[in-house]
């Protein structure tokens, strides 16, 4: 059985002569230093069985294979959740669901555990806010002290939840990436793999926070400045504010592909935050609109699912809160907060694995389209099929040096 699941012999290289260089050989235009070549000795391509079918170079269909459809070269090779070729929207979404099915312990079990714990901590941190009254009879000093204390606890818990979310997203990225090569990953193995990448992930998140926060602060300061220094009425101020925030939205969409592809780069390529942003920018440049469209559609779908799931819980919590909900800074009772937390947990449980799967596979897809990375994966799949052993660990494959694809997929 070969890597594409059929009994035919796959086509890789030219029987040890010329053709596509094997993974591990120095790439044209790149020095031999850089990423280490894991596991391979520089001895030339692996021996191929005799027969004319092995003589065709990559991209040509050997005898015995069905002819592929227009626009594709060699027949699909699939050893894991997705074919080792550039993916369309259906391939990305199907691959995300396939990764969830292939790694239920990580994608389902670990996600559920993290989401429940995070929501429980958030719920407990919000309880003090229900005790801080906002009615006119409350003492101002007591109100201020209680509000600051409760908000301090909430901020601290929020930071803990943010780090936990980064950890979970990194673990899911590892599981999805390994499933591309047909590897199943348990929770313990995925957590061990992501451990050394936590600090770079935190650094990337801080950079993203600055990228988004600084423009917002500048826009707010500009709006206040216009309102104070001019005689413009409230209507003009509102129009200016809408215009500026519209510009912010466009800017956010412009950097969304770069930031989304930088996250898998930190985890899989093991680079620092700044290098990851550079890699994300380089990967999204060819096909920017396609990447942006996939991301926006995915976020919209996830947002709709989350909203549909959480509305019943939020509405029930509001009914339970009644008029008492407006008398404290939380705007709800403890029961209302509990129901809202349950709804949020269910919504995250349903969407977080899917989002992580699509984002990781989009990164893989961009590397296959722009860096000829599908050939790297195919070569390793062939070696594993021939030898029955892993020549290069899957985690090391992602550190392969980028090289321009011979043809454009756009």
- The segments of the chain whose pLDDT lies below 50 read 1, 4-73, 323-325
DSSP per-residue codes, 137-165: TS-HHHHHHHHHHHHHHHHHHHHHHHHHH
Convert the pLDDT of each residue in 253-309 to its tens digit.
999 999 999 999 999 999 999 999 999 999 998 889 999 999 999 999 999 999 999
Residue 83 lies in a domain: no
> Residue 50: its pLDDT value, please?
36
Q: Helix (H, G, I), strand (E, B), or coil: what is residue 274?
A: helix
Residue 145 lies in a domain: yes
Residue 156 lies in a domain: yes
Q: Report the number of distinct structural domains present in the chain.
A: 1
> Residue 390: its pLDDT value, please?
85
User: Contact 277/204 with Cβ under 8 angstroms?
Assistant: yes
> Residue 328: its pLDDT value, please?
62
> Residue 113: its pLDDT value, please?
94
Residue 62 lies in a domain: no
Residue 7 lies in a domain: no
Domain of residue 307 covers 89-195+287-384
Distance of alpha carbon 121 from alpha carbon 319, whole angstroms: 24
Residue 157 lies in a domain: yes
Residue 112 lies in a domain: yes
> Residue 140: its pLDDT value, please?
66
* Distances 112 to 119, 274, 402 between C-alpha atoms, Å: 11, 31, 36
Predicted structure pTM score: 0.77
> Residue 160: its pLDDT value, please?
83
Residue 121 lies in a domain: yes
Nearest alpha carbon to residue 379 among 1, 19, 7? 19
* Helices and strands, counts by H and E, the chain: 12, 0
For the chain, percent of residues with pLDDT exceeding 70: 73
């Amino acid at each position: 059985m070969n890597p594409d699941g059929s009994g035919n012999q796959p086509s890789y290289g030219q029987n040890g002569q010329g053709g596509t260089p094997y993974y591990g050989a120095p790439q044209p235009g790149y020095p031999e230093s850089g990423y280490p070549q894991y596991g391979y000795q520089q001895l030339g391509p692996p021996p191929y069985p005799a027969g004319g079918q092995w003589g065709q170079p990559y991209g040509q269909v050997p005898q015995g294979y069905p002819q592929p459809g227009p626009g594709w070269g060699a027949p699909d090779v699939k050893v894991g959740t997705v074919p080792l070729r550039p993916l369309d929207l259906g391939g990305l979404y199907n691959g995300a669901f396939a990764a969830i099915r292939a790694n239920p312990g990580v994608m389902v079990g670990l996600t559920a555990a993290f989401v429940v714990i995070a929501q429980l901590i958030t719920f407990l941190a919000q309880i003090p806010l229900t005790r801080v009254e906002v009615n006119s009879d409350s003492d101002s000093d007591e109100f201020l002290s209680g509000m600051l204390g409760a908000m301090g606890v909430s901020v601290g818990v929020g930071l803990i939840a943010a780090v936990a979310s980064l950890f979970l997203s990194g673990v899911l990225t590892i599981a999805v990436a390994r499933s591309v090569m047909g590897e199943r990953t348990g929770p313990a193995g995925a957590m061990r793999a992501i451990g050394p990448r936590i600090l770079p992930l935190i650094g990337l998140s801080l950079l993203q926070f600055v990228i988004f926060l600084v423009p917002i602060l500048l826009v707010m300061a500009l709006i206040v400045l216009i309102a104070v220094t001019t005689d413009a009425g409230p209507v003009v101020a509102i129009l200016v504010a809408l215009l500026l925030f519209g510009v912010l939205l466009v800017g956010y969409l412009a950097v969304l592909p770069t930031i989304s592809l930088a996250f898998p780069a930190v985890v899989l390529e093991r680079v620092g935050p700044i290098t990851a942003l550079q890699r994300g920018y380089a990967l999204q440049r060819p096909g920017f609109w396609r990447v942006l469209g996939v991301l926006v559609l995915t976020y919209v779908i996830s947002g709709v699912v989350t909203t549909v799931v959480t509305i019943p819980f939020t509405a029930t919590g509001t009914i339970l809160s009644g008029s008492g909900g407006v008398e404290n800074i939380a705007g709800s009772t403890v029961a209302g907060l509990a129901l809202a937390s349950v709804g949020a947990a269910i919504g995250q449980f349903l969407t977080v694995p899917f989002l992580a799967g699509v984002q990781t596979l989009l990164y893989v897809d961009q590397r296959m389209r722009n860096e000829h990375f599908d050939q790297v994966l195919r070569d390793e799949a062939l070696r594993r099929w021939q030898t029955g052993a892993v020549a290069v660990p899957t985690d090391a494959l992602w550190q392969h040096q980028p090289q321009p694809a011979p043809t454009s997929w756009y």
